[in-house]
A and B are shown apart, each in its own frame.
Chain A
Amino acid sequence: MTGLGPLLRIRWRTMRRSALVWVLALVGTMAATAVSVAELYDTPTKVQTYADAIATDALVAVNGRVEGLDTLGGIVQDEFGFLAAFLMPLLGVGLVTAATRREEESGRLEQLLAGRVDRRAPVLASLVVVVVTVVVTMVGFAVSLVAAGVPTEGSVLYSLSLGALALVFAALAALLAQVVLHARAVYGVALAVLAVAYVFRGVGDVRGWWVVWLSPLGWAERTAPFGEPRWWVLLVPLVVAVLLAGAAVVLAARRDLGSALWRGGAGPERASTLLQRPLGLAWALQRGSFVGWLVGSTVLAAVMGSLAQEVVDALTGNPALEVYISLGDDPADGFLAMVVLYLAILGIGYVVQALGILRQEETEGRLEPQLAGTVARTRWLGAHLGVVLAGLVVILGASSAVLGLTSASVTGVGSVWPVVGAGLAYVPAVIVVAGLAAALFGLLPRGYVAAWGVFGGVTFIAFLGAGLQMPQWLLDVSPTTHVGTPPQGDVSGVALAVLVVVAAALTAAGVVGFRRRDVPRG
């Protein structure tokens, strides 16, 4: 194919940094998980305790129904399950989107295709680089699992199943990039597919329904690497990925450059009075990401809440589970506390992404004309911070309300308000991360990506902190640790107040920095 060689070199050159970051982050997380699990569960008795405790529907909904939980590998698969379910698809979607539709949007694809380059070469080259990245990641996974003492066959199959999961979503993103107009829409549709896949896998695993087989996450799970391995299941994601990628390549050869199946029609001729105010413009720019995170977190809350009865049943018949979820006044409280923490993590994702829009406005040259008007820098920044804070309160309030409602309706006990209170109790912790993001924007705008690193760190501690029995000082690094475990545990007002003060100080530093610095700063 003409031009595939040069395109491969270009893609390798432009993608290698993000690919390297993905490989290091994923393999690092896997290695850390495997080593910690191996240290914690060093006797067959301890492994059996874990198996007894975890084999409950609550955790099955979150992490998946892992076969072979009474092995070291099974525990790793279970602990890594939730993170893997999101990180592996994101690896595929992120790399492919950046190399396809984003390139087309920016006009760089046009320039490349004007050269001696086959129309199919760019998308094919992007997929090749992603495949290489995934293969390297799989090798890293397998090596770190074997090093931690997990049997080789299971390690290899498990790594392959995770890699296949990433490839399915990479191919899906490649196809979406041919049919939707904007990179953001590629992300949006791909993440919606992921959410549906997660719900199908979760509900299917708990209820034993066949819909698991409709979910790419289910395919990864059903290879059962640490139970009775089913190698043939690997064929399902591979065939699907090849079909999707093939469709993407065929479409790329046939369609017009810059085209899409769906384009917006004509819009309003005038801006509303609201849109003409900084607050209204901030809302218009933030609306998309707000709605996305709101939908995502309420769906997660609804799915989890509707499984509350299964959790209560499991708890009352399984005292071993108390190691992980202790019973409170309401037997579902421990489970609800865990889900609320997950909702708070989603809240952190929302604030980091939403405040990232500020940096995007700056680098893409739209901040300059606004500040060249009568809008003061503090007012512009304040409008965005206000919208993000309000959005966060709505997201945490609404999703925890949905959680409380669904859980109360299926169990017939408990009430909504303690759960809503628990969700809102996490607001101070989340705004600490928002304050950090604001400080980065004001003081070190080029380093904004570090805010995503903080998100990753907090997520890691929240999901794996308890299971891996991390030291207290490490748990204390995450602001979510200081909230307690509402609605099950007590919440310290002093701790929340301290979090608010820290958040305010960080935000103030960001505002002062932003007032003093040059705009735009490249």
Chain B
Amino acid sequence: MSTDDVVTVRGLVKTFGAVRALDGLDLAVAPGEVHGFLGPNGAGKSTTLRVLLGLVRADAGSVRLLGGDPWHDATRLHGRLAYLPGDVSLWPGLTGGQCLDVLAAARGGLVESRRRELVERFDLDPTKRARDYSKGNRQKVALVAALAADAELLLLDEPTAGLDPLMERTFQDVVHERRADGVTVLLSSHLMAEVEALADRVSIIRHGRTVTTGSLADLRRHTRTTVHAVTSTEPTGLRAVTGVADLVIEPAGPHTDVRFSVDADHLDDAVGRLHAARLHTLTVQPPSLDTLFLRSYDSDAPGAPPDDGAHAGRVDDSIPEVDGRHRAGRGAR
């Protein structure tokens, strides 16, 4: 965690009455990165963003945003960021175009050329009254207002809620462009695929705490590749390869059916052994963050579904320790 981070949150606590919405949350967003902020519903994502905006006051912990204190310097800092709330609500009597301008004006305006371009790309009719918009169209109005802003930091709370896949794609393209312009993005979401497509780094939170955080590459390295092969002879020495687990070798007619999972660093070694046994077919499933994501959520949820065989018993292994902020797996199953 460097001092010039755009967002630095340490040990953040916020309670609403008896509910502890944030319980020692940590978060660091570096300049120029797209940071995925993942968590299930009710994990505290929106509350964290509200604290970052000075809308809600932290009970404990330290919060820095763009080098300032979000509560005391709220309006000064807000000129440098744009925010998309999780629950978009527009003024029913105004048109979409008017709402867009009003939302943008609240943060100090937008880039005209970008507004025109984004209205076009998101296929928005700005002359319609907001009350007549569908949920997706309301979302688009707020999205354009945020994305057309000339901001250093974008705080996006579940930005693609209600968008169709085509518009989701457009959204991803625009975020890539903004990132290329040097804009930092904090992207809150519960959709792994969206974060995987956009984020450089990811923080996963649950029950108001950070479960894990790290770059996508880090996380990928710590997820496992599943391998399914059919070989002519039984492969030897696989059990001895470091990193191989869940090994199942079964005869399948004249061939041998082999299944196992392996971490990224030892994939080459393992596949070498298969090769030596003369490969017939080979299916390699790339590491999916979904698995990691689900596991981070589930690990002490009561009544969680039993694991599929491939990953049984390796919950703790699958969660990487990055930046010494490993929190999951305590008392897991």
Supposing A275-B101, A369-B106, A519-B56 touch, asked if A269 and B78 sit within 8 A by C-beta, the answer is no
Hey, which chain B residues are within 8 Å of A323, CB to CB? none
Could you tell me the distance between the alpha carbons of A408 and B131 in the complex, rounded to whole angstroms? 46
Query: Shortest beta-carbon distance, A256 to chain B, in Å?
Result: 14
Residue of B nearest to A368 (CB): B85
Query: Shortest beta-carbon distance, B13 to chain A, in Å?
Result: 14
Task: Identify which of residues 125-150 in chain B touch chain A, using a CB-to-CB cut-off of 8 Å.
Answer: 126-129, 131-132, 142
* A266 in contact with B102 (CB, 8 Å): no
* B106 in contact with A374 (CB, 8 Å): yes
Interface assignment of B75: CB less than 8 Å from any CB of chain A: yes
Which secondary structure dominates chain A's binding surface?
A: loop
* B91 in contact with A366 (CB, 8 Å): yes
Q: Which among B76, B107, B142 has the highest number of chain A CB atoms within 10 Å? A: B107
Interface segment among B92-100, B237-245, B286-294: the answer is: B92-100
* B55 in contact with A270 (CB, 8 Å): no
Of B78, B88, B108, B127, the contact of A268 (CB 8 Å cutoff): B127
Residue of B nearest to A285 (CB): B91
* B106 in contact with A370 (CB, 8 Å): yes
Interface assignment of B79: CB less than 8 Å from any CB of chain A: yes
Of A181, A267, A288, the contact of B98 (CB 8 Å cutoff): A267
Hey, which chain B residues are within 8 Å of A373, CB to CB? 78, 83, 103, 105-108
Interface segment among A111-119, A276-284, A312-320, A384-392: the answer is: A276-284
Interface assignment of B53: CB less than 8 Å from any CB of chain A: yes
Could you tell me the distance between the alpha carbons of A373 and B91 in the complex, rounded to whole angstroms? 17
* B127 in contact with A269 (CB, 8 Å): yes
Of A263, A284, A372, the contact of B85 (CB 8 Å cutoff): A372
Hey, which chain A residues are within 8 Å of B79, CB to CB? 374
Could you tell me the distance between the alpha carbons of A371 and B90 in the complex, rounded to whole angstroms? 14
Query: Shortest beta-carbon distance, A375 to chain B, in Å?
Result: 5
Hey, which chain B residues are within 8 Å of A269, CB to CB? 95, 97, 126-127
Hey, which chain B residues are within 8 Å of A371, CB to CB? 53, 55, 74
Hey, which chain B residues are within 8 Å of A268, CB to CB? 95, 97-98, 127
Query: Shortest beta-carbon distance, B16 to chain A, in Å?
Result: 8
* B101 in contact with A276 (CB, 8 Å): yes
Task: Identify which of residues 40-56 in chain A touch chain B, using a CB-to-CB cut-off of 8 Å.
Answer: none
Interface assignment of B87: CB less than 8 Å from any CB of chain A: yes
Give A244-284 as 1s and 0s: 1 = Cβ < 8 Å from B's Cβ atoms: 00000000000000000001101111110001110001001
Interface assignment of A364: CB less than 8 Å from any CB of chain B: yes
Query: Shortest beta-carbon distance, A221 to chain B, in Å?
Result: 38
Give B37-62 as 1s and 0s: 1 = Cβ < 8 Å from A's Cβ atoms: 00000000000001001011100000
* A181 in contact with B131 (CB, 8 Å): yes
Supposing A182-B131, A267-B127, A373-B108 touch, asked if A368 and B55 sit within 8 A by C-beta, the answer is yes
Supposing A263-B132, A267-B129, A270-B98 touch, asked if A372 and B105 sit within 8 A by C-beta, the answer is no
* A264 in contact with B129 (CB, 8 Å): yes
Query: Shortest beta-carbon distance, A103 to chain B, in Å?
Result: 16
Interface assignment of B285: CB less than 8 Å from any CB of chain A: no
Hey, which chain B residues are within 8 Å of A366, CB to CB? 89-91
Task: Identify which of residues 163-200 in chain A touch chain B, using a CB-to-CB cut-off of 8 Å.
Answer: 181-182
Hey, which chain A residues are within 8 Å of B93, CB to CB? 284, 288
Hey, which chain A residues are within 8 Å of B94, CB to CB? 267, 271, 275, 284
Of B85, B97, B126, B127, the contact of A369 (CB 8 Å cutoff): B85
* A372 in contact with B95 (CB, 8 Å): no
Hey, which chain B residues are within 8 Å of A519, CB to CB? 50, 55-56
Query: Shortest beta-carbon distance, B199 to chain A, in Å?
Result: 22
Could you tell me the distance between the alpha carbons of A445 and B89 in the complex, rounded to whole angstroms? 20
Q: Which among A182, A369, A520 has the highest number of chain B CB atoms within 10 Å? A: A369
Give A457-491 as 1s and 0s: 1 = Cβ < 8 Å from B's Cβ atoms: 00000000000000000000000000000000000
* B91 in contact with A266 (CB, 8 Å): no
* B75 in contact with A271 (CB, 8 Å): no
Hey, which chain A residues are within 8 Å of B53, CB to CB? 371-372
**Contact-residue bracket for chain A:** 20 to 34
* B57 in contact with A518 (CB, 8 Å): yes
Interface assignment of A28: CB less than 8 Å from any CB of chain B: no
* A365 in contact with B127 (CB, 8 Å): no
* B78 in contact with A372 (CB, 8 Å): yes
Residue of B nearest to A266 (CB): B127
Query: Shortest beta-carbon distance, B255 to chain A, in Å?
Result: 53
Query: Shortest beta-carbon distance, B69 to chain A, in Å?
Result: 15
Q: Which among B55, B85, B108, B142 has the highest number of chain A CB atoms within 10 Å? A: B55
Interface assignment of A376: CB less than 8 Å from any CB of chain B: yes
* B92 in contact with A182 (CB, 8 Å): yes
Could you tell me the distance between the alpha carbons of A5 and B74 in the complex, rounded to whole angstroms? 52
* B142 in contact with A369 (CB, 8 Å): yes
* A375 in contact with B129 (CB, 8 Å): no
Hey, which chain B residues are within 8 Å of A281, CB to CB? 102
Query: Shortest beta-carbon distance, B127 to chain A, in Å?
Result: 4
* A276 in contact with B105 (CB, 8 Å): yes
Hey, which chain A residues are within 8 Å of B131, CB to CB? 181-182
Residue of B nearest to A370 (CB): B106
Of B87, B92, B97, B103, the contact of A365 (CB 8 Å cutoff): B87
Query: Shortest beta-carbon distance, B103 to chain A, in Å?
Result: 6
Could you tell me the distance between the alpha carbons of A263 and B129 in the complex, rounded to whole angstroms? 10
Could you tell me the distance between the alpha carbons of A183 and B58 in the complex, rounded to whole angstroms? 38
Could you tell me the distance between the alpha carbons of A228 and B106 in the complex, rounded to whole angstroms? 65
Could you tell me the distance between the alpha carbons of A370 and B101 in the complex, rounded to whole angstroms? 12
Could you tell me the distance between the alpha carbons of A368 and B88 in the complex, rounded to whole angstroms? 10
* A365 in contact with B102 (CB, 8 Å): no
Could you tell me the distance between the alpha carbons of A288 and B91 in the complex, rounded to whole angstroms? 13
Hey, which chain B residues are within 8 Å of A518, CB to CB? 50, 55-57
Hey, which chain A residues are within 8 Å of B97, CB to CB? 267-271
Query: Shortest beta-carbon distance, A360 to chain B, in Å?
Result: 11
Supposing A376-B75, A519-B56 touch, asked if A271 and B107 sit within 8 A by C-beta, the answer is no
Could you tell me the distance between the alpha carbons of A514 and B224 in the complex, rounded to whole angstroms? 51
Query: Shortest beta-carbon distance, B51 to chain A, in Å?
Result: 10
Query: Shortest beta-carbon distance, A367 to chain B, in Å?
Result: 9
Query: Shortest beta-carbon distance, B65 to chain A, in Å?
Result: 12
Could you tell me the distance between the alpha carbons of A373 and B95 in the complex, rounded to whole angstroms? 20
Could you tell me the distance between the alpha carbons of A365 and B88 in the complex, rounded to whole angstroms? 7
Residue of A nearest to B83 (CB): A372
Of B89, B103, B105, the contact of A364 (CB 8 Å cutoff): B89
Residue of A nearest to B145 (CB): A369
Minimum-distance CB pairs A-B, first 3: A373-B106, A271-B101, A276-B105
* Chain A interface residues toward B at CB < 8 A: 181-182, 263-264, 266-271, 275-277, 281, 284-285, 288, 364-366, 368-376, 516, 518-520
* Chain B interface residues toward A at CB < 8 A: 50, 53, 55-57, 74-76, 78-79, 83, 85, 87-95, 97-108, 126-129, 131-132, 142, 155
A-B contact pairs, 5 of them (CB 8 A): A268-B127, A269-B95, A269-B127, A372-B55, A373-B107
Q: A181-B131, A276-B105, A374-B75 are in contact. List 4 more A-B contacts (CB 8 A).
A: A267-B97, A271-B97, A271-B100, A374-B78
